[in-house]
Amino acid sequence: MHRDSLPLPPAAPASGPNPAATALIMMGGGARAAYQAGVLNGVARIAARLGKVQAALPFGIIAGTSAGAINGAGLAIHAGDFQAATQSLGALWHSIHADEVYRTDVLRVGVSGARWLSTLALGWVTQRRAPRALFDNTPLGSMLGELFEPARVQASLDSGALQAFAVTALSYSTGRHVTFYQSHHRIHPWHRSQRIAVPAQITVDHLLASSSIPFLFPAMPLELDGHHEWFGDGTMRQMSPLSPAIHLGASRILAIGAASRQRSGWFDTMPGGGYPSLAQVGGQALASIFLDGLNADLERLQHINRLLARMPEVAGDREGWRPVQVMTVAPSEPIEAIAAEHQKQLPRTVRALLAPLGGTEARGAAFASYLLFEPAFTQALIALGERDAAAQADELAAFLYGVVPGTAPAAPGAGDRAAEQAVSP
């Protein structure tokens, strides 16, 4: 870790890894974030089998971006009860509908489509007000206003069940990534090239800003340094998604990704030859925004780790570096393939809007997957997340609870198969 002033986590208990120094990172992806709820369900089942039915979260630090920030908020308000937190989050994703996230009525979608068309075709003539986004996500703000209480995050921090909660968004005004964070102990803000962190009470507006997918949902104004800036989805150009958790004091990170390990193979099955539709291009563009940052950051950490292994004198505490263990869980099946099976469940008005763009074709499934807030799709992703967590149950039990299969709870780090990374945020 770099020479920044960072909080020293409490000593780990003998029964296993220290939750106060363990972080959960979740990145976004619109409706794809239902997968994260499934993985968390799976982790909660592991905790229950270990007798931790009423235990707090196994990660005291939560860093979320985009829809991952919303999932993180759901955990933060229930930090003292992991089972209740995952049940609440799972129930939300299990029954969610598109009209609870963005307006799907004929009038609103029709007006939005017409405004975009007229702006692109005749905007230079009419000089009319340019549309701000393809969809109006006012319903999401209303739903979050009912479910998310900022005071409960502070209560979790005050109780010590939560050490820190962070949400990252991109400022359209300056091009900087800004991490807004709340913490149990005082943590000094940090500044890096094009990314800064500021302490703040996280509100619904922060969650909306972090999850405002470019072009699809409107930007949000947030106060920063005494003035307002316009913010959008925090995954845009986010090259160091692991950094906030490390700055907040994590020595272990569980990262739940949204990029399928089989994604490229699925695209190989698509018929070629024709010119790509706008939805196909848009899907690839969104994939580059949402799905590639975490993998690139992990690869960078692996290179740093190999370098430090050859230079042990640099990796000592006196040099300001410390090891951080990282474990990832990612979809084992292409989410695009699942989305292709459920595209017809998009609201009729949305299908009508996306059809001219190719968004209702199989090749447009990647683009449609970000908007598929419908139960059949989200339930399929929850089930996939649960299966993937079950397939890595031994690794998760060792990483989060220090339990090696067939043994009693072990000391911190025992049985970990996650790669140890030496990192600098």
pLDDT in tens, 393-414: 999 999 999 988 765 554 443 3
What confidence tier does 425 reach under pLDDT thresholds 50, 70, 90?
low
pLDDT in tens, 52-104: 887 899 999 999 999 999 999 999 999 999 999 999 999 999 999 999 999 98
For residue 311, the SS3 value is coil
Please give the positions annotated as active site: 66, 233
- Distance in angstroms (rounded) separating the CA atoms of residues 405 and 170: 42
Rounded to the nearest 5 degrees, what angle is found at the Cα of 59, between the Cα atoms of 247 and 88? 125
pLDDT in tens, 201-227: 999 999 999 999 988 899 999 999 889
Virtual CA dihedral for 277, 34, 248, 228, nearest 10 degrees? 60
Give the tokens for residue 338. 């699942």
- Distance in angstroms (rounded) separating the CA atoms of residues 214 and 370: 11
Q: Which amino acid is at 330?
A: A
Which whole number is the average pLDDT over 121-140? 69
The pLDDT of residue 29 is 81
**Domain residue ranges of the chain, discontinuous segments joined by +:** 19-95+135-264+278-333+375-401
- Distance in angstroms (rounded) separating the CA atoms of residues 173 and 258: 27
Fold of 19-95+135-264+278-333+375-401: Cytosolic phospholipase A2 catalytic domain (3.40.1090)
pTM for this prediction: 0.86
Asked whether 50 and 401 are in contact (CB, 8 A), the reply is yes
Beta bridge pairs of residue 179: 168, 197
**Helix ranges restricted to H, 248-329:** 263-268, 278-290, 292-310
More confident site: 139 or 239: 139
Asked whether 369 and 341 are in contact (CB, 8 A), the reply is no
